[in-house]
């Protein structure tokens, strides 16, 4: 990954604004739910698709690409706009959101959108990311050629399957797995503190052999530094908690 | 007895003389062959040191074997992740966990994505060894049959299990293979034809017939033995081995229903939503027949590992066929 210099940050800021415009101009007319969540991750997806990820929009099935596993797929509006801006499909297609057979569906659907490797709609993608990382290790041992980034929300940590995955990833020392967990402390039904408590979550991850980092998801430089650190961690998966 | 399908010639010997083999062993051998044929085949297992082991494959290909311990919910999602990376995962889980505890994961991971993950129910039915009562999986067919794109196989013995496993690896989609944990009688031979989606007549393939029996899994043995006994009484019974429960061989089922008008289903699972229900869905539309269902009828598993389930033993099968015959 290249150093994120000031010119590159300005370039990313411009792209990020353009992606937000694509969302407000094309997608929000159809979808009014989860709009703020989607807007909140645009900076992060911009950083990934235009700086961090090893990928090729012209060859979405390129085997050596990095993988982004979107567990919080209710923010897929941001993903669609970012992928369109990156060249995976024409931006005009964004207007066809939810239409039968169109590329952007309610939830990412691999049959309709090149670059999506799994359909989603149910939570639990961290386990799938663990499986992808283990499969890569079966083929390439412990290489650092490829990274697997899984974006999920803090409310998902109330689901038991994720803790099985967290335990498994730590045991298997999956160094090229990076989980990015949004901590907005709120979910449908109220504040997180009034639902199932999950603190001290940092201690829990460290007990499961994870490297824990914190970063601001809307700060390109901060986020880039965290991902850079995650890529250099030895024999541990990394979790980056983002506000 | 059908000559063309080369069944085990000792099939009508005393039960003690008929070779007994664990269907699990046949699966294990089949998985090794599938692994030899295709390097994309990998195996996930909850605990290889116990009875759900995949010892042959794990020994030959340790780098393609992954032990997930008892993280049973995430196991299928892990398998999906592997499948999206180009692998063909075989997932072994015992007891009611598979399918059961993990139905949401199977739905999301497998058939929604139509990935080639193979689910192995290694303790299905009432003959589940030490797994008794609530741990027995007899609801599996009803649960997994409702999932679209799922192929469901129930091999009748260890030899057919080996073939089924090899062919399952070649299907580009999810497959569920079920078999009991205990040893069962060898019915077929290496020469017996096997094809996914095709049901073979294993007894009385030609001539007139009074009652049709459709059996699935190792109970095909009991069905053939019962048919042979009834032959001596003058009741002519044709036995169909329904080794592929889904997609069903509609032609074979309809043909038997048309020929006899009387069908007995023998299955080792809940009759509600089970094999009989699947057959009835076909016959009711194309060739309505009088039907009797032998299986776990709205009950939990009661096998203690030695005694046969009261409904699926040879004597009860004969009684049911006789009762339908005089209708």
Residue B217 belongs to some domain of the structure: yes
Q: Are residues A127 and A11 part of one domain?
A: no
Residue B279 is predicted with a pLDDT of 98
Contacts B80 to A, Cβ<8 Å: 118, 128, 131
Contacts B82 to A, Cβ<8 Å: 131-132, 134-135
Q: What are phi and psi of B176, to 5 degrees?
A: -115, 125
Is residue B23 within 8 A of residue B161, CB to CB? The reply is yes
Residue B62 belongs to some domain of the structure: yes
Residue A53 belongs to some domain of the structure: no
Residue B307 is predicted with a pLDDT of 42
Contacts A133 to B, Cβ<8 Å: 81
* Cα B140–Cα B146–Cα B148 angle in degrees, nearest 5: 120
Asked if A127 lies within 8 A of B112 by C-beta distance, the reply is no
Can you give the residue range of the structural domain that contains A135? Answer: 123-243
Is residue A37 within 8 A of residue A72, CB to CB? The reply is yes
Least confident of A213-217, B71-75, B200-204, B253-257: B71-75
- Residues of chain A under the 70 pLDDT cut: 1-2, 26-36, 72-74, 97-124, 185-197
Residue A160 belongs to some domain of the structure: yes
What is the per-residue pLDDT across B194-240, written as a single tens digit (0 to 9) for each? 999 999 999 988 889 999 999 999 999 999 999 999 998 999 999 99
Neighbours of B9 (CB within 10 A): 9
The Cα–Cα gap between B292 and B221 comes to 18
B72 is catalytic: yes
Q: Are residues B163 and B134 part of one domain?
A: yes
Is residue B72 within 8 A of residue B78, CB to CB? The reply is no
The Cα–Cα gap between A197 and B105 comes to 24
Looking only at the bridges linking them, the beta strands covering B118-121 and B88-93 are parallel
Q: Are residues B175 and B45 part of one domain?
A: yes
Asked if A133 lies within 8 A of B77 by C-beta distance, the reply is no
Q: Are residues B244 and B179 part of one domain?
A: no
Q: Are residues B181 and B35 part of one domain?
A: yes
Least confident of A13-22, A101-110, B68-77, B287-296: A101-110
Q: Are residues A133 and A110 part of one domain?
A: no
Q: Are residues A133 and A85 part of one domain?
A: no
The Cα–Cα gap between B80 and B70 comes to 17
Q: Are residues B230 and B175 part of one domain?
A: no
Residue B32 is predicted with a pLDDT of 96
Q: Are residues B260 and B161 part of one domain?
A: no
Residue B241 is predicted with a pLDDT of 97
Interface test with A, best of B35, B67, B78, B80 (most A CBs within 10 A): B78
Residue B220 belongs to some domain of the structure: yes
Q: What is the CATH number of the domain that holds A213?
A: 3.40.50.970
pLDDT interval class at B52 (50, 70, 90): low
The Cα–Cα gap between B4 and A239 comes to 61
Between residues B181 and B96, the one the model is more confident about: B181
Residue A121 is predicted with a pLDDT of 47
The Cα–Cα gap between B172 and B151 comes to 10
Residue A172 belongs to some domain of the structure: yes
CA distances in angstroms from B299 to B72, B75, B270, listed in the order given = 25, 29, 7
Least confident of A200-214, B69-83, B177-191: B69-83
Asked if A130 lies within 8 A of B113 by C-beta distance, the reply is no
Q: Are residues B204 and B181 part of one domain?
A: no
Residue B114 is predicted with a pLDDT of 75
Nearest to B84 among A117, A165, A167 (CB): A117
Mean pLDDT of B108-117: 72
Structure tokens at A115: 């670059």
Place of tokens 């980034």: A149
Asked if A110 lies within 8 A of B82 by C-beta distance, the reply is no
Q: Are residues B259 and B140 part of one domain?
A: no
Q: What is the CATH number of the domain that holds B143?
A: 3.40.50.970
Q: Are residues A218 and A179 part of one domain?
A: yes
Least confident of A140-149, A187-196, B60-69, B302-311: B302-311
Q: Which of B4, B17, B29, B72 is catalytic?
A: B72
Residue A5 belongs to some domain of the structure: yes
Residue B8 belongs to some domain of the structure: no
Nearest to A131 among B82, B107, B113 (CB): B82
Can you give the residue range of the structural domain that contains B235? Answer: 200-325
- Where are any strands of DSSP class E within chain A? 67-70, 148-153, 177-182, 186-187, 190-191, 211-215, 238-242
Question: From the CA of A230, how many Å to the nearest CA of chain B?
Answer: 21
Q: Are residues A155 and A87 part of one domain?
A: no
Q: Name the domain boundary from B159, B185, B211.
A: B185
pLDDT interval class at B306 (50, 70, 90): very low
Residue A67 belongs to some domain of the structure: no
Least confident of B5-9, B137-141, B183-187: B137-141
Asked if B85 lies within 8 A of A118 by C-beta distance, the reply is no
Which residues lie below 8 Å from residue B254, measured CB to CB, with a gap of 6+? B282, B283, B286, B287
Q: Are residues A91 and A38 part of one domain?
A: yes
Which residues lie below 8 Å from residue A10, measured CB to CB, with a gap of 6+? none
Residue A147 belongs to some domain of the structure: yes
Residue A98 belongs to some domain of the structure: yes
Q: What are phi and psi of A192, to 5 degrees?
A: -60, -35
Nearest to B81 among A63, A121, A132 (CB): A132
- Where are any strands of DSSP class E within chain B? 20-22, 41-45, 65-67, 88-93, 118-121, 151-153, 175-178, 183-185, 200-203, 211-215, 237-241, 244-246, 262-270, 290-296
Q: Which of B88, B87, B94, B83 is nearest to B53 (CA)?
A: B94
Residue B67 has pLDDT above 90, yes or no: no
Residue B2 belongs to some domain of the structure: no
The Cα–Cα gap between A194 and A236 comes to 32
Mean pLDDT of B275-297: 93
Nearest to A164 among B64, B74, B83 (CB): B74
Residue B142 belongs to some domain of the structure: yes
Q: Are residues A137 and A90 part of one domain?
A: no
Asked if A128 lies within 8 A of B86 by C-beta distance, the reply is no
Residue A233 is predicted with a pLDDT of 93
Please enumerate residues of B whose Cβ is less than 8 A from a Cβ of A: 42, 63-64, 66, 68, 71-74, 77-87, 104-105, 107-109, 112-113, 115
* Cα A70–Cα A73–Cα A79 angle in degrees, nearest 5: 75
Q: Are residues A33 and A106 part of one domain?
A: yes
Q: Name the domain boundary from A104, A120, A136.
A: A120
Residue A61 is predicted with a pLDDT of 86
Looking only at the bridges linking them, the beta strands covering A211-215 and A238-242 are parallel
Peptide bond into A24 cis (omega under 30): no
Q: Are residues A101 and A177 part of one domain?
A: no
pLDDT interval class at B289 (50, 70, 90): very high
Nearest to B80 among A131, A133, A167 (CB): A131
Q: Name the domain boundary from A90, A120, A150.
A: A120
> How many distinct structural domains can be found in chain A?
2
Q: What is the mean pLDDT of chain B?
A: 86
> How many distinct structural domains can be found in chain B?
2
Q: Name the domain boundary from A120, A136, A155.
A: A120
pLDDT interval class at B284 (50, 70, 90): very high
Q: Are residues B222 and B121 part of one domain?
A: no
Q: Are residues B86 and B26 part of one domain?
A: yes
Residue B317 is predicted with a pLDDT of 94
Q: Are residues B256 and B160 part of one domain?
A: no
Residue B282 belongs to some domain of the structure: yes
Q: What is the CATH number of the domain that holds B312?
A: 3.40.50.920
Residue B238 is predicted with a pLDDT of 97
Residue of B nearest to A141 (CA): B63
Q: Are residues A215 and A173 part of one domain?
A: yes
Q: Are residues A158 and A209 part of one domain?
A: yes
Q: Are residues B219 and B141 part of one domain?
A: no
Residue B72 has pLDDT above 80, yes or no: no
The Cα–Cα gap between B303 and B129 comes to 8
Q: A136 and chain B: CB distance < 8 Å anywhere?
A: yes
Residues in chain A: 243
Residue B28 belongs to some domain of the structure: yes
Residue B104 has pLDDT above 90, yes or no: no
């Amino acid at each position: 990954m290249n150093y994120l210099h000031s010119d590159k940050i300005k370039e990313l800021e411009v792209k990020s604004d353009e992606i937000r415009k694509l969302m407000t101009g094309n997608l929000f007319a159809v979808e009014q739910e989860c709009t703020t969540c989607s807007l909140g991750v645009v900076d992060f997806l911009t950083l990934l698709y235009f700086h961090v990820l090893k990928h090729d929009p012209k060859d979405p099935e390129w085997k050596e690409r990095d993988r982004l596993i979107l567990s919080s797929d209710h923010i897929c509006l941001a993903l669609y706009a970012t992928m369109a801006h990156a060249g995976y499909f024409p931006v005009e297609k964004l207007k066809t959101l939810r239409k039968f057979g169109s590329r952007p569906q309610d939830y990412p659907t691999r049959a309709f959108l090149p670059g999506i490797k799994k359909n989603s709609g149910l939570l639990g993608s961290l386990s799938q990311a663990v499986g992808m990382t283990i499969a890569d290790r079966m083929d390439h041992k412990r290489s650092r050629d490829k990274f697997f980034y899984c974006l999920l929300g803090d409310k998902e940590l109330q689901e038991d399957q994720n803790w099985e995955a967290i335990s498994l990833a730590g045991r298997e020392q999956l160094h090229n797995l990076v989980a990015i967990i949004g901590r907005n402390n709120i979910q449908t039904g109220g504040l997180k503190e009034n639902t199932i408590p999950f603190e001290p979550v940092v201690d829990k991850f460290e007990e499961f052999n994870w490297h824990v980092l914190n970063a601001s998801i809307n700060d390109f430089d901060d986020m880039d530094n965290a991902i850079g650190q995650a890529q250099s961690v030895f024999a541990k998966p990394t979790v980056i908690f983002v506000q | 007895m059908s000559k063309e399908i080369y069944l085990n010639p000792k099939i009508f010997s005393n039960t003690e003389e008929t070779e007994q083999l664990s269907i699990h062993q046949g699966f294990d051998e089949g998985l090794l062959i599938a692994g030899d044929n295709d390097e994309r085949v990998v195996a996930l297992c909850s605990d290889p040191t116990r009875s759900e082991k995949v010892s042959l494959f794990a020994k030959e290909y340790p780098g393609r074997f992954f032990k997930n311990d008892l993280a049973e919910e995430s196991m299928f999602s892990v398998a999906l992740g592997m499948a999206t990376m180009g692998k063909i995962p075989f997932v072994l889980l015992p007891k009611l966990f598979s399918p059961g505890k993990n139905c949401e994961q199977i739905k999301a991971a497998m058939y929604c994505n139509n990935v080639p993950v193979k689910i192995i129910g290694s303790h299905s039915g009432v003959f589940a060894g030490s797994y008794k009562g609530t741990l027995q999986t007899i609801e599996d067919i009803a649960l997994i049959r409702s999932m679209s794109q799922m192929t469901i196989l129930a091999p009748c013995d260890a030899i057919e299990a080996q073939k089924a496993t090899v062919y399952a690896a070649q299907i580009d989609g999810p497959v569920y293979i079920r078999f009991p944990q205990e040893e069962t009688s060898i019915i077929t031979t290496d020469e017996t034809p096997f094809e996914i989606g095709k049901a073979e007549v294993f007894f009385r393939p030609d001539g007139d017939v009074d009652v049709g029996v459709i059996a699935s899994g190792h109970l095909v043995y009991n069905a053939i033995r019962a048919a042979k006994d009834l032959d001596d009484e003058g009741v002519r019974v044709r036995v169909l081995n329904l080794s592929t429960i889904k997609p069903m061989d509609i032609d074979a089922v309809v043909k038997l229903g048309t020929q006899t008008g009387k069908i007995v289903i023998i299955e080792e699972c809940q009759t509600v939503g089970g094999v009989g229900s699947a057959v009835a869905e076909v016959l009711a539309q194309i060739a309505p027949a009088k039907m009797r269902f032998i299986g776990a009828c709205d009950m939990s598993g009661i096998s203690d590992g030695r005694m046969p389930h009261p409904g699926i033993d040879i004597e009860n099968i004969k009684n049911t066929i006789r009762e339908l015959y005089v209708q």
